[in-house]
Chain A
């Protein structure tokens, strides 16, 4: 048996391929959002799809987040499998009513009669000097809400496979694509198909400390782990992948082995995703801990424009490694 061959792809190309395959596979699938057609997508994810599939299935919308997200919900309720692209998480706030009050509630509120098989994709995150209004990380805010699922692909395979799985899901799935990842290159496993979207993955094995990250911070966290290895600290790195549901079992199993944990989140620290992960560790394996859980989050400021200030506001490999050293007690 030969190992499956691999091809090189960017994160962007992996998503585009996944959308194209979904459109070919299922006539109920269509893509709609701002500038997804003629422009080719704000991040060029959907470039070429309009020419290939036509304007009925690659739908440019007005700048009306609430109605095109709500229309996605309505179309999903009525037999279609829409992929709605909200250009960035920042603009998704204009559609929050539809996501929270309709997509997330209708199945439960209708006593199980109406499910909403909708996929919403959006770019998220900071790090590109686009200042406060274009640098939000609201994954944690959405992960707060029962009734939707929230995933954050951090690898090329997940960028491709998670969309497939999300489209097969009978309920709304939000996919957060960190804008800093679109140019990332890597290996895409051919014929991958749908991937599990309920479990975290151990991206690097280690025995001394568990570093928990997702999406845009996974790469920085793996860099931090490389740094730590030079000091003979073997960090285990967990990629959460799914933010709702959270795979508590994988987190607890790792922390129970390493006895130390650092949670990395590009969201703000207060009342956020990192607080939830920390709480689950404390609730689930408090007596396994040899040190308090540490967190590396974005500084509690609107993200500034100037590069040195923005860099200082965000989790970085150095700050992640420093937090890990502190937890391990080696002091670096």
Chain B
């Protein structure tokens, strides 16, 4: 489905988008460094290269909307407004972390931001998002649930079950498929008989179209259009956000499955460089502004690391807390 070219962002807004993407980039670079230093353990999946997707989609959401994300969700959490210090502390495993150090990199949660994880079973978040949206519908609330997942999830049964039910019941879900072409090391063309993902979603009778996931304005515009249609009772909408991860799948990935040339080619489309270039061309960004922006972001990340370093370990006596609720709900 063809869509018109993205409208130019206003000056302030353009810089804000750039700043959000730079925050994610620098945060992820710091995570990689801290992983090598042994400060972060477990699985770590970096969002570098895909920043325009999270930042663009979040522009379409209100604080009352909800987000269900994947195990590569640092970018979603940051763009949603989850505190960078709380995210970093979570990765350190500290009790000040946004999930008290119980979840780590793959399970960031924040009730205040209506950020419902951090789901690390591929496809496992889709049914949750459908149910969140069902509750909003039944309660008469004008809210959207944005559900992020990778193109690898399209091979899961839960994807198809969720598409069908969301469409059948006309539920307010914004499905955001981050198509970075590889499910860990399995290329889309090696795992799907039909590689046009938007077409698959359209087969469930929901509006679905591909979006340039390296262009933050294109993502913002598509998400805004979709969210607005969902709020008007248009039922679920599906965006196939075409993007690329510049880093390995996780910290254990030797990247045997793709050519370096391919990675380099995609890096030429770096969403941050591309957008910064557009802002410069429009006279909205100069070296001094960019340097100031980078300084500001570096300060935020340094504070986040300080917060995580200064954090404390949850007492072992608390191990069994929250297996079940401590107070009955009303």
| B324 pairs with A107, CB closer than 8 A | yes
In the complex, which residue of chain A has the Cβ closest to the Cβ of B139?
A: A79
Residues of chain B within 8 A (CB-CB) of A111 are: 97-103, 109, 322
| B164 pairs with A107, CB closer than 8 A | no
Q: CA A146 – CA B162 in complex, angstroms?
A: 26
Q: CA A115 – CA B127 in complex, angstroms?
A: 16
Q: CA A106 – CA B322 in complex, angstroms?
A: 9
Q: Is A102 at the interface (CB under 8 A from chain B)?
A: yes
| B66 pairs with A78, CB closer than 8 A | yes
Residues of chain B within 8 A (CB-CB) of A109 are: 99, 102-103, 107, 109, 117-118
- Interface residues of B, CB < 8 Å — how many? 49
Pick the most buried of A71, A109, A170: most chain B CB atoms within 10 A of its CB.
A71
- The B103-127 residues at the A interface (CB cut-off 8 A) are 103, 107, 109-111, 116-119, 121, 124, 126-127
Q: CA A171 – CA B111 in complex, angstroms?
A: 17
Q: Which of A59-67, A226-234, A300-308 contacts B (4 or more CB under 8 A)?
A: A59-67
Whole-angstrom distance between the Cβ of A305 and the nearest chain B Cβ: 29
Q: Is B130 at the interface (CB under 8 A from chain A)?
A: yes
Contact with B along A61-96 (1 / 0, CB 8 A): 110101111111111111110100000000000000
In the complex, which residue of chain A has the Cβ closest to the Cβ of B66?
A: A78
Knowing A64-B161, A67-B165, A146-B323 are in contact, say whether A114-B116 is a contact too (CB < 8 A): yes
Q: Can you pick out 18 interface pairs between chain A and chain B where the beta carbons lie within 8 Å of each other?
A: A72-B131, A73-B127, A74-B128, A75-B135, A78-B132, A78-B135, A80-B135, A98-B124, A101-B121, A102-B119, A109-B99, A110-B99, A110-B103, A110-B111, A111-B103, A111-B109, A113-B99, A170-B327
Q: Is A168 at the interface (CB under 8 A from chain B)?
A: yes
- The A116-175 residues at the B interface (CB cut-off 8 A) are 117, 146-147, 149, 168-171
In the complex, which residue of chain B has the Cβ closest to the Cβ of A72?
A: B131
Q: CA A164 – CA B86 in complex, angstroms?
A: 38
| A113 pairs with B110, CB closer than 8 A | yes
Partner of B138, one of A77, A80, A147: A80
Q: Is A97 at the interface (CB under 8 A from chain B)?
A: yes
Q: CA A78 – CA B236 in complex, angstroms?
A: 18
Residues of chain A within 8 A (CB-CB) of B164 are: 62, 64, 67
Q: Is A30 at the interface (CB under 8 A from chain B)?
A: yes
Q: Is A108 at the interface (CB under 8 A from chain B)?
A: yes
Residues of chain B within 8 A (CB-CB) of A56 are: 138
Q: CA A166 – CA B19 in complex, angstroms?
A: 48
Q: Is A191 at the interface (CB under 8 A from chain B)?
A: no
Q: CA A71 – CA B126 in complex, angstroms?
A: 9
- Interface residues of A, CB < 8 Å — how many? 43
| A66 pairs with B329, CB closer than 8 A | no
- The B274-328 residues at the A interface (CB cut-off 8 A) are 321-328
Residues of chain B within 8 A (CB-CB) of A106 are: 109, 117
Contact with B along A223-264 (1 / 0, CB 8 A): 000000000000000000000000000000000000000000
In the complex, which residue of chain B has the Cβ closest to the Cβ of A148?
A: B324
- The B169-218 residues at the A interface (CB cut-off 8 A) are none
Residues of chain B within 8 A (CB-CB) of A67 are: 126-127, 130, 158, 161-162, 164-165
Q: CA A82 – CA B126 in complex, angstroms?
A: 18
Q: Is B133 at the interface (CB under 8 A from chain A)?
A: yes
Contact with A along B54-66 (1 / 0, CB 8 A): 0000000000001
Contact with B along A28-61 (1 / 0, CB 8 A): 0010000000000000000000000000100001
Knowing A66-B158, A77-B132, A170-B327 are in contact, say whether A108-B102 is a contact too (CB < 8 A): yes
| B165 pairs with A102, CB closer than 8 A | no
Q: CA A108 – CA B109 in complex, angstroms?
A: 11
Whole-angstrom distance between the Cβ of B8 and the nearest chain A Cβ: 37
Residues of chain B within 8 A (CB-CB) of A61 are: 165
Q: CA A107 – CA B99 in complex, angstroms?
A: 10
Knowing A66-B157, A98-B124 are in contact, say whether A107-B135 is a contact too (CB < 8 A): no
Whole-angstrom distance between the Cβ of A4 and the nearest chain B Cβ: 26
| A30 pairs with B127, CB closer than 8 A | no
Q: CA A146 – CA B135 in complex, angstroms?
A: 26
| A71 pairs with B130, CB closer than 8 A | yes
In the complex, given contacts A70-B126, A109-B118, A113-B111, what are 12 additional A-B residue pairs having Cβ atoms less than 8 angstroms apart? A66-B127, A66-B157, A75-B134, A101-B121, A102-B119, A107-B323, A108-B102, A108-B322, A109-B102, A111-B102, A146-B323, A170-B327
